[in-house]
Amino acid sequence: MSASSLLLAIQGQFGDNTLRAEYESFLEAALEMERDTRGGPVWGTADKARLAELVERGRDGDLAAMESIYEMFKRPVFGLIYRHAQNQAVAEDLLQDVFLKIFSNLRNVRDAGTFPGWVFRIALNTSYSYLRQKKAQGDKLVSLDDLGGNVEDRASEAVEKDLRGPLEQAIQTLAPRLRSVFILHDVQGFKHEEIARTLGCAVGTSKSQLFKARIKVREYLRAKKAV
């Protein structure tokens, strides 16, 4: 039984809506990946031939191939998750969860060209799911993980005249969807076409959300007199 099928089994037993929603969003991402095949690959930055070979080997259970896939994606995926979770330990747990989901479902990947989009979609869905759970828990629980190493701490370490600290804080104030678009485009350098595929929206929506995100970031920075 794979980790994800175990999750599904547990959900059925518990009848828990949060987990079911999480798994459904994961399945939705998997289905979306299948639909993406029609549009062809758009991830120009990935080494497609190498990735295709790694995915093929990973499907056959080649651990070294999986590790190479992990190495290939860990930084951008972690960057995305980290800026949603705002905590190193939590982000690492989520990253682990994301890659377990990916590797458990690698056999469903038919086109390596759509693989990166699928990876980021799972990362986003996992991040959103975490944010929903965190919001549901409210301020009642303070995890030990929340006591150190968060983004705000890091931001305050940045040199004051540097924009990086306030900018990190500004990103945290964005709504999840705007935050995702801003991180993917402005921090990680993805194209709107790639973002639209990942988020399952139109390119125009990605552009307008980026603009909204930038305006909100600017408002925050101006209030802090950082720009």
Partner 1 sequence: MRCRRANEYISRSVDGELAGRQAARLERHLASCGECRALLEDLRKIVGGATELDQPEPSDRVWRNIRTGLAAADVKPLVEGISLEPRPLFGLGVPALRYAGAAALAVVLVVSGVVIGTRLGRQGTPAGSDRGEKYTLAKLDEAERYYQQAIKSLGEAFVSQKGVLVPQVAELFDRNLAVIDATIQACRRAVLEEPDDLQARSYLLSAYTEKVTLLDSALDLQRRDRETAGKGKKIL
Give contact residues for partner 1 (rule: CB under 8 A): 1-3, 6-7, 10-11, 13-16, 18-19, 63, 66-67, 70, 74-75, 78-79, 82, 88, 91-92, 95-97, 99-100, 103-104, 133, 136-137, 140-141, 144, 154, 163-164, 167-168, 182, 186-187, 189, 207, 210-211, 214, 217-218, 221-222, 227
**32 vs 88, which CB is nearer to partner 1?**
88
Complex with partner 1: residue 111 or 186, whichever CB lies closer: 186
Token pair 């007199």 is found at 225
Instruction: Output the smallest distance, CB 33 to partner 1, in A.
Output: 20
Least spacing, CB of residue 131 vs partner 1, in Å: 13
Q: 226 — phi, psi (to 5°)?
A: -95, -15
- d(CA 166, CA 86) in angstroms, rounded, equals 14
CB of residue 176 vs partner 1: minimum separation in angstroms? 17
Nearest to partner 1 of 37, 96 (CB atom): 96
CB 158 within 8 A of CB 66: no
Q: How far is CA 89 from CA 122, 176, 225, in A?
A: 19, 20, 31
Q: How far is the CB of 97 from partner 1 (least distance, A)?
A: 8
Residue with tokens 């896939």: 69
Q: Smaller CB distance to partner 1: residue 30 or 158?
A: 158
Least Å distance between CB 37 and partner 1?
26
List of residues 6+ apart from 179 with CB closer than 8 A:
83, 84, 171, 172, 213
* Helical spans, DSSP H, in the chain: 3-14, 17-36, 48-59, 63-85, 88-104, 115-137, 151-157, 164-173, 176-182, 192-199, 203-223
* Helix (H/G/I), strand (E/B), else coil: 150: strand
**Facing residues of 150 across strands?**
87
Nearer to partner 1, 113 or 182 (CB): 182
Task: State the Cα–Cα distance between residues 110 and 156, nearest whole angstrom.
Answer: 45
Q: How far is the CB of 7 from partner 1 (least distance, A)?
A: 6
Q: Considering beta carbons, is residue 35 or 75 the nearer one to partner 1?
A: 75
